[in-house]
Structure 1
Amino acid sequence: MRSVVLELLGEHGFHGFGMRDVAARSRQSVANVYHHVADKEELVHAALVELLEGALATAEATLAVRGARERLRALCTDHVARLVETPAEAPLWRGAWPPLREPQRRRLGVLRGRYIATLQAHVDELCGRQGRRRAADERRVLLLLALLEGAAAQLERGATPARIARGAQEALALFLDGALPRSRSRL
C-alpha cells in the first residue's frame, strides 16, 4: 500500500488523491485501508518514513566502498536510481513536505538531515570542508542533490543501470568541477 501512496503522491501531489484512490489502486476496500491507518496523513507519513529510511540505509552502506571518490560515486548513482524509480522522492530532498502534522514533519526532517549529513561527510572527505561556515558546506551538498535530481529527470523509469550510472557520473563530474581544485577534479 505504501508504494501505491508514493505513486499517487508523485502523480497527483498530496491534495490530488484520497483514500478511495489508494484503495482502488491497491485493490482493497476503503474500509480495509482505514483498518490499517487512521487517515491519509498517517499513511503518507509511513510511506515517506519507509522511503527515507531505505535511502539512509543505502547511503550508510556506501561506507563499505573503498576510496572516497568511489563512495561518493556509489551514493550518487543510488540517489539517481531512486529518483528515477520514485519521482515523489525528489521534493523531500528539497525540504518540500506534504502538509503533515508537526511531529510527522519533524521525523521526516531528522531522516532527511541524517541522509544529508552522510552525503556531506562523503563530499567533505573528497573535497575538504569549506572552512568554518557550516551553511556553505550544506549549500554545497544541496547543490549536488539538485544536480542529481536534474540527471534523474532526464531519465525514464526503467532506465538501464548503465544509463543511470552515466547520468549520475555526469552530474557528479559537473559538481566536482566546481568543488575541487583543477588538478583533482577529474573522475
Structure 2
Amino acid sequence: MRAATLGELSRVGFAGLTVEGVARAAGVNRTTIYRRWPSKAALLAAMIEPVLERWDGDPDTGSARDDLLTLMLMIRDSTTLPEGRALTEAMTAGASELRDLLRDTINRTLAPFHRALDRAVARGQLRASTDVRVIAHLAFHGVVAWEPAHGALPTDDDCARMVRVLLPGAEQ
C-alpha cells in the first residue's frame, strides 16, 4: 500500500490523488483502503509515519551546536525520502484537509529541537533568557525553505553556517 500511495503521489500530486488510483496501483479494491484509512489525509498520515518516528528520539551529543546540526541534517535527509517528498508536495498543495496533519507533523518534528535546546540551557551552554522556541523554529524552517529558495537542499556546510548564526555564543 505504501509503494502504491507514494507512487501515485509522485505521479499525480496530492490534489490528483484518489483512493481509486491508489487501489488500482496496489491491486486491491478501494473498500480495502477505506476500511483502514477513511480519507486521503489519513492515508498520507499512515504513509509518512515511519519518517515521523525518527523524531520520537533525541540526539544528545552534549553540545548545543552538534545537537542542532544533527537535527537540521535529519530534516534535510528526511526530505529526500519518498515519504518526505510526498509530505513536502502535500504541504505545498495547500489542501485544507491536511491542515491538522501538517500542524501535527510540524509540532512532532519541532519537539526534539525544543528538547535539545532546553537541555543546552540546563547544561549552561545557552543563557536562560535565550529564546529557544524561536531558534528551533528558524532552524527547522531554514532547512525546509532552503530548497525552494536556493534550488537545492542545504549542504552540511550550509546547515553548519545556519547553526553558527543561530547559536553565535553557544558553548560546545
- Tell me, yes or no, whether TM beats 0.5: yes
Distance in 2 (CA, whole Å) between partners of 1:172 and 1:69 is 11
Distance in 1 (CA, whole Å) between partners of 2:155 and 2:170 is 19
**Partner secondary structure for residue 13 of structure 1:** helix
Q: How big is each residue's C-alpha offset from its partner over 1:59-79, in whole Å with a ceiling of 9 and x where there is no partner? A: x2423x453333333323322
Of the three residues 153, 166, 170, the one matched with 1:179 is 166
- Residue identity over aligned pairs, in percent, reads 19
Q: How many residues align?
A: 166
Q: 1:51 to 1:135 in 2, by over 3 A?
A: same
- TM-score, normalising length: structure 1: 0.62
Gaps of 5+ in 2: none
Q: Which has the bigger relative contact order, CA under 8 A and spacing at least 6?
A: 2
Distance in 2 (CA, whole Å) between partners of 1:115 and 1:129 is 24
- TM-score, normalising length: structure 2: 0.66
Q: How big is each residue's C-alpha offset from its partner over 1:88-124, in whole Å with a ceiling of 9 and x where there is no partner? A: 23367x797643277xx1x652442132132134356
Output aligned runs, 1:135-150, within 5 Å.
Answer: 136-146=134-144, 149=147
TM-fit CA distance, 1:16: 1.0
TM-fit CA distance, 1:80: 1.9
Q: 1:128 to 1:27 in 2, by over 3 A?
A: farther
Q: How big is each residue's C-alpha offset from its partner over 1:23-82, in whole Å with a ceiling of 9 and x where there is no partner? A: 12223233432343334343233334x14632322xx2423x453333333323322221
CA contact (8 A) 2:59 2:71 kept: yes
Q: 1:139 to 1:119 in 2, by over 3 A?
A: closer
